[in-house]
Chains A and B, each alone.
Chain A
Amino acid sequence: MSFDRQQTPSWRRGYRFQFEPAQNGHVLLYPEGMIKLNESASAIGGLIDGQRNVAAIIEALSEQFPGFPELGADVEQFMEVARAEHWIELA
Protein backbone atom coordinates (compact mmCIF):
# COMPACT_ATOMS: atom_id res chain seq x y z
CA MET A 1 0.00 0.00 0.00
CA SER A 2 1.37 3.39 -0.89
CA PHE A 3 1.92 6.03 1.74
CA ASP A 4 -0.44 8.99 1.77
CA ARG A 5 1.75 12.10 1.78
CA GLN A 6 -1.20 14.36 2.47
CA GLN A 7 -1.24 13.20 6.11
CA THR A 8 0.02 15.64 8.72
CA PRO A 9 2.19 14.32 11.53
CA SER A 10 2.23 15.74 15.04
CA TRP A 11 4.08 14.52 18.11
CA ARG A 12 2.00 12.43 20.44
CA ARG A 13 0.80 14.22 23.53
CA GLY A 14 3.60 14.21 26.11
CA TYR A 15 6.35 13.70 23.51
CA ARG A 16 8.88 16.48 23.07
CA PHE A 17 11.53 16.89 20.39
CA GLN A 18 14.44 18.96 21.61
CA PHE A 19 18.11 19.73 21.06
CA GLU A 20 20.43 18.61 23.85
CA PRO A 21 23.72 20.54 23.89
CA ALA A 22 25.45 17.99 26.16
CA GLN A 23 24.68 15.20 23.68
CA ASN A 24 25.25 17.43 20.70
CA GLY A 25 22.11 16.14 19.08
CA HIS A 26 18.35 15.97 19.09
CA VAL A 27 16.33 13.72 21.35
CA LEU A 28 12.73 12.74 21.73
CA LEU A 29 11.63 13.01 25.35
CA TYR A 30 8.58 11.22 26.76
CA PRO A 31 7.40 10.01 30.17
CA GLU A 32 10.53 8.73 31.92
CA GLY A 33 12.29 8.06 28.65
CA MET A 34 14.48 9.51 25.93
CA ILE A 35 15.47 8.46 22.42
CA LYS A 36 18.60 9.88 20.82
CA LEU A 37 17.81 10.63 17.19
CA ASN A 38 20.29 10.26 14.37
CA GLU A 39 20.95 13.11 11.95
CA SER A 40 18.30 12.29 9.39
CA ALA A 41 15.64 11.61 12.03
CA SER A 42 16.56 14.94 13.63
CA ALA A 43 16.18 16.77 10.32
CA ILE A 44 12.75 15.23 9.80
CA GLY A 45 11.72 15.68 13.43
CA GLY A 46 12.56 19.36 13.31
CA LEU A 47 9.90 19.86 10.65
CA ILE A 48 7.08 18.11 12.50
CA ASP A 49 4.88 20.91 13.78
CA GLY A 50 1.33 19.68 13.35
CA GLN A 51 0.98 22.03 10.31
CA ARG A 52 3.19 20.62 7.54
CA ASN A 53 2.01 17.47 5.86
CA VAL A 54 4.45 14.76 4.81
CA ALA A 55 4.68 16.14 1.25
CA ALA A 56 5.65 19.57 2.62
CA ILE A 57 8.26 18.01 4.90
CA ILE A 58 9.79 16.15 1.94
CA GLU A 59 9.80 19.33 -0.10
CA ALA A 60 11.48 21.35 2.64
CA LEU A 61 14.16 18.69 3.09
CA SER A 62 14.76 18.45 -0.69
CA GLU A 63 15.60 22.14 -0.70
CA GLN A 64 17.86 21.72 2.32
CA PHE A 65 19.59 18.60 0.96
CA PRO A 66 19.42 18.62 -2.85
CA GLY A 67 20.49 15.55 -4.81
CA PHE A 68 19.11 12.78 -2.59
CA PRO A 69 16.51 10.93 -4.66
CA GLU A 70 15.69 8.48 -1.84
CA LEU A 71 14.75 11.28 0.51
CA GLY A 72 11.01 10.83 0.01
CA ALA A 73 11.22 7.12 0.81
CA ASP A 74 13.33 7.85 3.91
CA VAL A 75 10.78 10.29 5.26
CA GLU A 76 7.95 7.84 4.61
CA GLN A 77 9.87 5.15 6.43
CA PHE A 78 10.49 7.44 9.40
CA MET A 79 6.78 8.24 9.56
CA GLU A 80 5.85 4.54 9.46
CA VAL A 81 8.25 3.68 12.27
CA ALA A 82 7.33 6.71 14.38
CA ARG A 83 3.65 5.90 14.02
CA ALA A 84 4.16 2.22 14.88
CA GLU A 85 6.09 3.29 17.98
CA HIS A 86 3.31 5.75 18.81
CA TRP A 87 5.71 8.72 18.83
CA ILE A 88 3.57 10.61 16.33
CA GLU A 89 0.00 10.73 15.19
CA LEU A 90 -0.83 11.11 11.52
CA ALA A 91 -4.01 12.96 10.67
Chain B
Amino acid sequence: MPNTGSSLPESSLAAPAIKMPPKPEVGLPLWLLAELTYRCPLQCPYCSNPLDFAKQGQELTTEQWFKVMREARQMGAAQIGFSGGEPLVRQDLAELIAEARRLGYYTNLITSGIGLTEQKIIDFKEAGLDHIQISFQASDEQVNNMLAGSKKAFAQKLEMARAVKKHGYPMVLNFVTHRHNIDKIDKIIELCIALEADFVELATCQFYGWAHLNREGLLPTKDQLVRAERVTNEYRDKLAAENHPCKLIFVTPDYYEERPKACMNGWGNIFLTVTPDGTALPCHGARQMPVEFPNVREHTMQHIWYDSFGFNRYRGYDWMPEPCRSCDEKEKDFGGCRCQAFMLTGDAANADPVCSKSPHHGMIVQAREEAEYATQTIEQLAFRNDRNSRLIAKS
Protein backbone atom coordinates (compact mmCIF):
# COMPACT_ATOMS: atom_id res chain seq x y z
CA MET B 1 0.00 0.00 0.00
CA PRO B 2 1.26 3.51 -0.69
CA ASN B 3 2.33 5.54 2.27
CA THR B 4 -0.29 8.23 2.58
CA GLY B 5 1.01 9.35 5.94
CA SER B 6 2.71 12.34 4.41
CA SER B 7 -0.64 13.87 3.61
CA LEU B 8 -1.27 14.42 7.31
CA PRO B 9 0.00 17.74 8.61
CA GLU B 10 2.99 17.42 10.92
CA SER B 11 1.26 19.62 13.42
CA SER B 12 -1.52 17.12 14.02
CA LEU B 13 0.93 15.07 16.06
CA ALA B 14 2.28 18.00 18.03
CA ALA B 15 -1.05 19.65 18.63
CA PRO B 16 -3.75 16.99 18.76
CA ALA B 17 -6.31 19.53 19.93
CA ILE B 18 -6.53 21.07 16.46
CA LYS B 19 -8.98 18.98 14.50
CA MET B 20 -8.29 18.93 10.77
CA PRO B 21 -11.16 18.32 8.38
CA PRO B 22 -11.10 14.74 7.13
CA LYS B 23 -9.29 14.30 3.84
CA PRO B 24 -11.20 12.40 1.18
CA GLU B 25 -9.96 8.90 0.49
CA VAL B 26 -7.53 8.90 -2.44
CA GLY B 27 -7.35 6.10 -5.04
CA LEU B 28 -4.15 4.79 -6.58
CA PRO B 29 -2.80 6.43 -9.76
CA LEU B 30 -3.31 3.26 -11.79
CA TRP B 31 -3.04 5.03 -15.15
CA LEU B 32 -0.06 7.12 -16.17
CA LEU B 33 -0.42 9.06 -19.40
CA ALA B 34 2.99 10.18 -20.61
CA GLU B 35 2.52 12.97 -23.12
CA LEU B 36 6.06 12.90 -24.43
CA THR B 37 5.84 15.81 -26.83
CA TYR B 38 3.44 18.28 -28.41
CA ARG B 39 5.28 17.95 -31.72
CA CYS B 40 3.15 16.23 -34.37
CA PRO B 41 3.26 15.93 -38.15
CA LEU B 42 -0.55 16.01 -38.34
CA GLN B 43 -2.89 18.94 -37.78
CA CYS B 44 -6.19 17.37 -36.65
CA PRO B 45 -8.70 20.13 -35.92
CA TYR B 46 -10.14 18.17 -32.95
CA CYS B 47 -6.84 17.63 -31.14
CA SER B 48 -7.17 17.71 -27.34
CA ASN B 49 -3.77 19.39 -26.91
CA PRO B 50 -3.87 22.91 -25.48
CA LEU B 51 -4.40 25.68 -28.01
CA ASP B 52 -1.15 27.36 -27.02
CA PHE B 53 0.99 24.19 -27.32
CA ALA B 54 3.50 26.06 -29.51
CA LYS B 55 4.67 28.20 -26.59
CA GLN B 56 5.01 25.42 -24.00
CA GLY B 57 8.30 24.85 -22.24
CA GLN B 58 11.12 22.41 -22.81
CA GLU B 59 10.45 18.68 -23.00
CA LEU B 60 11.52 16.38 -20.19
CA THR B 61 14.72 14.41 -20.69
CA THR B 62 14.95 10.62 -20.84
CA GLU B 63 16.23 10.52 -17.26
CA GLN B 64 13.40 12.70 -16.04
CA TRP B 65 10.86 10.36 -17.65
CA PHE B 66 12.62 7.38 -16.04
CA LYS B 67 12.15 8.99 -12.64
CA VAL B 68 8.47 9.75 -13.32
CA MET B 69 7.83 6.16 -14.41
CA ARG B 70 9.74 4.65 -11.49
CA GLU B 71 7.98 6.70 -8.84
CA ALA B 72 4.51 6.27 -10.34
CA ARG B 73 5.05 2.52 -10.65
CA GLN B 74 5.95 2.30 -6.97
CA MET B 75 2.69 4.07 -6.20
CA GLY B 76 0.68 1.49 -8.13
CA ALA B 77 0.56 2.73 -11.73
CA ALA B 78 0.09 -0.35 -13.93
CA GLN B 79 -0.85 1.07 -17.31
CA ILE B 80 1.32 3.57 -19.14
CA GLY B 81 0.31 5.32 -22.34
CA PHE B 82 2.97 6.96 -24.48
CA SER B 83 1.15 9.74 -26.20
CA GLY B 84 1.59 13.31 -27.38
CA GLY B 85 1.59 15.04 -29.86
CA GLU B 86 3.11 12.23 -31.80
CA PRO B 87 5.30 10.17 -29.43
CA LEU B 88 7.28 8.72 -32.36
CA VAL B 89 9.13 12.00 -32.80
CA ARG B 90 10.94 11.31 -29.48
CA GLN B 91 14.25 9.70 -30.41
CA ASP B 92 14.39 7.92 -27.04
CA LEU B 93 11.01 6.19 -27.37
CA ALA B 94 12.45 2.65 -27.49
CA GLU B 95 14.47 3.39 -24.34
CA LEU B 96 11.41 4.71 -22.53
CA ILE B 97 9.39 1.64 -23.55
CA ALA B 98 12.13 -0.71 -22.36
CA GLU B 99 12.37 0.98 -18.97
CA ALA B 100 8.58 1.02 -18.53
CA ARG B 101 8.32 -2.66 -19.35
CA ARG B 102 11.20 -3.48 -17.02
CA LEU B 103 9.36 -1.69 -14.23
CA GLY B 104 6.30 -3.90 -14.86
CA TYR B 105 4.00 -1.54 -16.72
CA TYR B 106 1.62 -2.61 -19.42
CA THR B 107 2.98 -0.39 -22.17
CA ASN B 108 0.70 1.28 -24.71
CA LEU B 109 1.88 3.32 -27.68
CA ILE B 110 -0.78 5.78 -28.82
CA THR B 111 0.20 6.98 -32.26
CA SER B 112 -1.06 8.39 -35.54
CA GLY B 113 1.20 5.86 -37.28
CA ILE B 114 2.99 8.70 -39.07
CA GLY B 115 6.71 8.16 -38.65
CA LEU B 116 6.25 4.48 -37.83
CA THR B 117 8.18 1.88 -39.82
CA GLU B 118 8.17 -1.89 -39.74
CA GLN B 119 11.68 -1.79 -38.26
CA LYS B 120 10.46 0.42 -35.39
CA ILE B 121 7.56 -1.98 -34.80
CA ILE B 122 10.11 -4.78 -34.47
CA ASP B 123 12.45 -2.72 -32.26
CA PHE B 124 9.63 -1.68 -29.93
CA LYS B 125 8.54 -5.31 -29.62
CA GLU B 126 12.05 -6.24 -28.52
CA ALA B 127 11.98 -3.34 -26.07
CA GLY B 128 8.82 -4.87 -24.56
CA LEU B 129 5.99 -2.83 -26.01
CA ASP B 130 2.67 -4.52 -25.21
CA HIS B 131 0.23 -2.75 -27.50
CA ILE B 132 -0.09 -0.20 -30.29
CA GLN B 133 -3.07 2.05 -30.85
CA ILE B 134 -3.32 3.76 -34.23
CA SER B 135 -5.66 6.67 -34.74
CA PHE B 136 -7.41 7.21 -38.04
CA GLN B 137 -9.19 10.36 -39.15
CA ALA B 138 -11.67 8.73 -41.55
CA SER B 139 -12.36 5.51 -43.46
CA ASP B 140 -11.58 6.95 -46.87
CA GLU B 141 -8.34 8.37 -48.07
CA GLN B 142 -9.52 11.79 -49.14
CA VAL B 143 -11.40 12.78 -45.98
CA ASN B 144 -8.72 11.24 -43.78
CA ASN B 145 -5.93 13.18 -45.41
CA MET B 146 -7.89 16.41 -45.45
CA LEU B 147 -8.56 16.13 -41.73
CA ALA B 148 -5.03 15.08 -40.92
CA GLY B 149 -3.59 17.88 -43.01
CA SER B 150 -1.33 15.37 -44.76
CA LYS B 151 -1.47 13.83 -48.24
CA LYS B 152 0.16 10.53 -47.36
CA ALA B 153 -1.39 9.81 -43.97
CA PHE B 154 -4.02 7.23 -44.90
CA ALA B 155 -1.88 4.85 -46.94
CA GLN B 156 0.80 4.95 -44.26
CA LYS B 157 -1.71 4.13 -41.52
CA LEU B 158 -3.07 1.12 -43.40
CA GLU B 159 0.40 -0.23 -43.99
CA MET B 160 1.39 0.23 -40.35
CA ALA B 161 -1.82 -1.32 -39.01
CA ARG B 162 -1.06 -4.44 -41.04
CA ALA B 163 2.52 -4.49 -39.79
CA VAL B 164 1.40 -4.13 -36.16
CA LYS B 165 -0.72 -7.28 -36.46
CA LYS B 166 1.93 -9.10 -38.45
CA HIS B 167 4.37 -8.68 -35.59
CA GLY B 168 2.04 -10.10 -32.99
CA TYR B 169 0.74 -7.06 -31.14
CA PRO B 170 -2.81 -6.56 -30.01
CA MET B 171 -4.16 -3.49 -31.79
CA VAL B 172 -6.64 -0.78 -30.97
CA LEU B 173 -7.86 1.40 -33.80
CA ASN B 174 -9.19 4.76 -32.79
CA PHE B 175 -11.52 6.82 -34.94
CA VAL B 176 -12.57 10.23 -33.72
CA THR B 177 -15.97 10.70 -35.29
CA HIS B 178 -17.73 13.99 -36.01
CA ARG B 179 -20.27 15.40 -38.43
CA HIS B 180 -17.99 14.98 -41.45
CA ASN B 181 -17.26 11.26 -41.06
CA ILE B 182 -19.83 9.73 -38.68
CA ASP B 183 -22.24 8.77 -41.49
CA LYS B 184 -19.56 6.42 -42.79
CA ILE B 185 -19.42 4.48 -39.54
CA ASP B 186 -20.27 1.21 -41.29
CA LYS B 187 -17.25 1.69 -43.57
CA ILE B 188 -15.11 2.54 -40.56
CA ILE B 189 -16.13 -0.64 -38.74
CA GLU B 190 -15.64 -2.78 -41.86
CA LEU B 191 -12.14 -1.36 -42.28
CA CYS B 192 -11.25 -2.09 -38.65
CA ILE B 193 -12.47 -5.66 -38.89
CA ALA B 194 -10.54 -6.16 -42.13
CA LEU B 195 -7.40 -4.85 -40.39
CA GLU B 196 -8.01 -7.34 -37.53
CA ALA B 197 -8.29 -4.74 -34.80
CA ASP B 198 -8.81 -6.24 -31.33
CA PHE B 199 -10.60 -3.12 -30.12
CA VAL B 200 -12.18 -0.29 -32.05
CA GLU B 201 -12.78 3.04 -30.37
CA LEU B 202 -15.51 4.97 -32.12
CA ALA B 203 -15.05 8.11 -30.14
CA THR B 204 -17.42 10.89 -31.01
CA CYS B 205 -15.45 14.07 -30.70
CA GLN B 206 -15.37 15.61 -27.21
CA PHE B 207 -14.97 19.34 -27.09
CA TYR B 208 -11.67 20.22 -25.51
CA GLY B 209 -8.63 21.97 -26.90
CA TRP B 210 -8.87 22.43 -30.64
CA ALA B 211 -12.17 20.59 -30.84
CA HIS B 212 -13.78 23.20 -28.59
CA LEU B 213 -12.55 25.91 -30.94
CA ASN B 214 -14.08 24.02 -33.87
CA ARG B 215 -17.20 22.77 -32.14
CA GLU B 216 -19.74 24.13 -34.58
CA GLY B 217 -17.98 22.47 -37.48
CA LEU B 218 -17.60 19.12 -35.68
CA LEU B 219 -20.64 18.34 -33.52
CA PRO B 220 -22.86 15.81 -35.30
CA THR B 221 -26.62 16.17 -35.29
CA LYS B 222 -28.78 14.06 -33.03
CA ASP B 223 -29.98 12.05 -36.05
CA GLN B 224 -26.40 11.36 -37.16
CA LEU B 225 -25.51 10.15 -33.69
CA VAL B 226 -28.58 7.93 -33.25
CA ARG B 227 -27.95 6.30 -36.59
CA ALA B 228 -24.25 5.73 -35.84
CA GLU B 229 -25.08 4.07 -32.54
CA ARG B 230 -27.69 1.86 -34.18
CA VAL B 231 -25.25 0.76 -36.90
CA THR B 232 -22.61 0.06 -34.24
CA ASN B 233 -25.06 -2.10 -32.29
CA GLU B 234 -25.92 -4.05 -35.43
CA TYR B 235 -22.23 -4.80 -35.96
CA ARG B 236 -21.85 -5.75 -32.30
CA ASP B 237 -24.64 -8.31 -32.64
CA LYS B 238 -23.08 -9.65 -35.80
CA LEU B 239 -19.64 -9.99 -34.22
CA ALA B 240 -21.08 -11.64 -31.10
CA ALA B 241 -22.99 -14.16 -33.24
CA GLU B 242 -19.69 -15.11 -34.90
CA ASN B 243 -17.89 -15.23 -31.54
CA HIS B 244 -15.56 -12.68 -33.10
CA PRO B 245 -13.07 -11.21 -30.59
CA CYS B 246 -13.17 -7.65 -31.99
CA LYS B 247 -14.79 -5.29 -29.50
CA LEU B 248 -16.49 -2.06 -30.56
CA ILE B 249 -16.38 0.79 -28.08
CA PHE B 250 -18.78 3.63 -28.83
CA VAL B 251 -18.28 6.93 -27.04
CA THR B 252 -21.30 9.26 -27.08
CA PRO B 253 -20.39 12.94 -26.96
CA ASP B 254 -21.29 14.69 -23.73
CA TYR B 255 -23.36 17.17 -25.67
CA TYR B 256 -26.12 14.60 -26.20
CA GLU B 257 -26.32 13.45 -22.60
CA GLU B 258 -28.60 14.71 -19.86
CA ARG B 259 -26.24 13.69 -17.07
CA PRO B 260 -22.51 14.37 -17.07
CA LYS B 261 -19.87 11.68 -17.28
CA ALA B 262 -18.00 10.64 -14.15
CA CYS B 263 -14.98 12.35 -15.59
CA MET B 264 -11.70 10.51 -14.95
CA ASN B 265 -13.60 8.51 -12.30
CA GLY B 266 -13.14 11.51 -10.08
CA TRP B 267 -10.46 14.18 -9.87
CA GLY B 268 -7.06 12.73 -8.97
CA ASN B 269 -8.55 9.31 -8.34
CA ILE B 270 -7.06 6.92 -10.96
CA PHE B 271 -5.56 9.00 -13.70
CA LEU B 272 -2.31 10.93 -13.83
CA THR B 273 -1.06 12.81 -16.89
CA VAL B 274 2.43 14.20 -17.26
CA THR B 275 2.71 16.75 -20.07
CA PRO B 276 5.80 17.27 -22.27
CA ASP B 277 7.26 19.99 -20.03
CA GLY B 278 6.68 17.99 -16.84
CA THR B 279 3.48 19.58 -15.60
CA ALA B 280 1.41 16.89 -13.86
CA LEU B 281 -2.35 16.97 -14.38
CA PRO B 282 -5.32 14.95 -13.09
CA CYS B 283 -6.53 14.80 -16.70
CA HIS B 284 -5.02 15.81 -20.02
CA GLY B 285 -7.51 18.62 -20.49
CA ALA B 286 -6.82 20.34 -17.18
CA ARG B 287 -3.91 22.48 -18.26
CA GLN B 288 -6.10 25.39 -19.32
CA MET B 289 -7.63 25.73 -15.86
CA PRO B 290 -6.58 28.56 -13.53
CA VAL B 291 -5.25 26.05 -11.01
CA GLU B 292 -1.60 25.74 -10.10
CA PHE B 293 -0.39 22.28 -11.09
CA PRO B 294 2.86 20.74 -9.87
CA ASN B 295 5.81 19.91 -12.09
CA VAL B 296 7.77 16.67 -11.93
CA ARG B 297 11.03 18.64 -12.15
CA GLU B 298 10.34 20.09 -8.71
CA HIS B 299 8.33 17.45 -6.88
CA THR B 300 8.14 13.70 -6.35
CA MET B 301 5.16 11.84 -7.76
CA GLN B 302 4.21 10.99 -4.18
CA HIS B 303 3.91 14.68 -3.33
CA ILE B 304 2.16 15.46 -6.61
CA TRP B 305 -0.51 12.79 -6.20
CA TYR B 306 -1.19 13.00 -2.48
CA ASP B 307 -0.19 16.47 -1.33
CA SER B 308 -0.20 18.98 -4.16
CA PHE B 309 -2.81 21.69 -4.29
CA GLY B 310 -3.75 20.94 -7.91
CA PHE B 311 -4.50 17.25 -7.34
CA ASN B 312 -6.49 17.93 -4.18
CA ARG B 313 -8.43 20.87 -5.58
CA TYR B 314 -11.54 18.92 -6.60
CA ARG B 315 -11.23 15.75 -4.56
CA GLY B 316 -14.14 14.79 -2.34
CA TYR B 317 -17.33 16.85 -2.35
CA ASP B 318 -16.67 19.87 -0.14
CA TRP B 319 -15.74 22.15 -3.04
CA MET B 320 -19.09 21.69 -4.77
CA PRO B 321 -21.59 24.54 -5.03
CA GLU B 322 -25.25 23.92 -5.81
CA PRO B 323 -26.85 22.17 -7.63
CA CYS B 324 -24.17 19.48 -7.13
CA ARG B 325 -23.77 19.91 -3.37
CA SER B 326 -27.21 18.59 -2.49
CA CYS B 327 -27.55 16.32 -5.52
CA ASP B 328 -28.12 12.64 -4.79
CA GLU B 329 -26.12 11.70 -7.90
CA LYS B 330 -22.91 13.52 -6.94
CA GLU B 331 -21.19 10.32 -5.82
CA LYS B 332 -21.97 8.78 -9.18
CA ASP B 333 -20.70 11.51 -11.51
CA PHE B 334 -18.77 13.96 -9.28
CA GLY B 335 -20.59 16.82 -10.98
CA GLY B 336 -19.10 15.88 -14.35
CA CYS B 337 -16.05 17.34 -16.00
CA ARG B 338 -14.20 20.22 -14.35
CA CYS B 339 -12.54 21.30 -17.60
CA GLN B 340 -15.86 21.48 -19.38
CA ALA B 341 -17.41 23.43 -16.50
CA PHE B 342 -14.51 25.88 -16.69
CA MET B 343 -14.59 26.26 -20.47
CA LEU B 344 -18.32 26.84 -20.62
CA THR B 345 -19.07 28.70 -17.38
CA GLY B 346 -15.75 30.26 -16.36
CA ASP B 347 -15.77 28.44 -13.00
CA ALA B 348 -14.46 24.88 -12.82
CA ALA B 349 -16.39 24.17 -9.61
CA ASN B 350 -19.74 24.66 -11.31
CA ALA B 351 -21.84 21.70 -12.38
CA ASP B 352 -20.82 20.45 -15.82
CA PRO B 353 -23.37 22.17 -18.13
CA VAL B 354 -24.04 18.80 -19.75
CA CYS B 355 -26.20 18.10 -16.70
CA SER B 356 -29.81 19.15 -17.19
CA LYS B 357 -29.80 20.37 -13.57
CA SER B 358 -27.09 22.93 -14.39
CA PRO B 359 -28.32 26.51 -14.80
CA HIS B 360 -25.96 26.66 -17.81
CA HIS B 361 -27.47 23.64 -19.57
CA GLY B 362 -29.04 25.98 -22.15
CA MET B 363 -25.60 26.32 -23.78
CA ILE B 364 -25.57 22.61 -24.53
CA VAL B 365 -29.11 22.69 -25.87
CA GLN B 366 -28.16 25.63 -28.07
CA ALA B 367 -25.10 23.80 -29.41
CA ARG B 368 -27.35 20.87 -30.37
CA GLU B 369 -29.68 23.25 -32.19
CA GLU B 370 -26.75 24.87 -33.98
CA ALA B 371 -25.61 21.44 -35.13
CA GLU B 372 -28.87 21.15 -37.10
CA TYR B 373 -27.95 24.16 -39.23
CA ALA B 374 -24.14 24.20 -39.23
CA THR B 375 -22.59 24.64 -42.66
CA GLN B 376 -18.85 24.66 -41.96
CA THR B 377 -16.79 22.50 -44.26
CA ILE B 378 -13.68 20.63 -43.23
CA GLU B 379 -11.52 23.25 -44.95
CA GLN B 380 -13.04 25.97 -42.77
CA LEU B 381 -11.94 24.37 -39.49
CA ALA B 382 -8.97 25.77 -37.56
CA PHE B 383 -6.20 23.21 -38.03
CA ARG B 384 -3.90 22.36 -35.17
CA ASN B 385 -0.54 23.66 -36.27
CA ASP B 386 2.19 25.96 -34.98
CA ARG B 387 0.97 28.95 -36.93
CA ASN B 388 -2.59 28.78 -35.59
CA SER B 389 -1.31 28.00 -32.10
CA ARG B 390 0.89 31.12 -32.04
CA LEU B 391 -1.92 33.28 -33.38
CA ILE B 392 -4.23 32.02 -30.65
CA ALA B 393 -1.63 32.40 -27.92
CA LYS B 394 -1.06 36.02 -28.99
CA SER B 395 -4.70 37.05 -29.07
Contacts and interface: CB of A to CB of B under 8 A. Distances in A.
Interface string B57-90: 0000000000000000011101101000000000
Nearest to B168: A13
B1 A34 contact: no
Interface string B145-189: 000000000000000000000001111100000000000000000
Interface residues of A, number: 18
A90 B30 CA distance: 30
B245 A22 contact: no
A33 B172 CA distance: 12
Contacts of B2: 22
In this complex, the member of A12, A15, A22 whose beta carbon has the largest number of chain B beta carbons within 10 angstroms is A22
Interface stretch (A24-32, A45-53, A54-62, A66-74): A24-32
Contacts of A32: 79, 81, 108, 131, 133, 172, 199
A31 B28 contact: no
A12 B81 contact: no
Given A14-B130, A22-B1, A32-B172, A27 B78 contact: yes
Tell me the interface secondary structure of chain B in the complex: loop
A80 interface: no
A18 interface: yes
Contacts of B30: 34
Interface in A1-50: 12-16, 18, 20, 22-24, 27, 29-34
Nearest to A31: B131
A20 B172 contact: no
Given A22-B2, A22-B28, A29-B106, A13 B78 contact: no
B107 to A, nearest CB: 10
A23 B76 contact: yes
Contacts of A13: 168-170
23 contacts: A13-B168, A13-B169, A14-B169, A15-B170, A16-B130, A18-B104, A20-B76, A22-B1, A22-B2, A22-B28, A22-B76, A24-B1, A27-B78, A29-B78, A29-B130, A30-B131, A31-B108, A31-B131, A31-B198, A32-B108, A34-B78, A34-B79, A86-B247
For the complex of A and B, the 9 pairs showing the least CB-CB separation, nearest first, are A14-B170, A22-B76, A29-B106, A31-B131, A86-B245, A31-B172, A31-B170, A22-B28, A14-B131
